Amino acid sequence: MREREASISAYPDGPLIVRGDVQLVDADGEPIEQRRRTMALCRCGLSTIKPFCDGTHKAAGFRTE
For residue 64, the domain's CATH number is 3.40.5.90
Query: What pLDDT, on the 0 to 100 scale, is given for residue 36?
Result: 86
* pLDDT per position as a tens digit, 42-60: 999 999 999 999 999 999 9
Per-residue pLDDT band for 2 (boundaries 50, 70, 90) equals low
pTM: 0.85
Is residue 12's pLDDT more than 80? yes
Task: Judge whether 35 lies within some domain.
Answer: yes
Mean pLDDT, the chain, integer: 92
Task: Judge whether 42 lies within some domain.
Answer: yes
Burial class (CB in 10 A: 0-12, 13-18, 19+), 42: buried
Distance CA 48, CA 1 (A): 31
Number of domains forming the structure of the chain: 1
Residue 61's domain spans which residues?
A: 7-65
Task: Judge whether 2 lies within some domain.
Answer: no
Task: Judge whether 25 lies within some domain.
Answer: yes
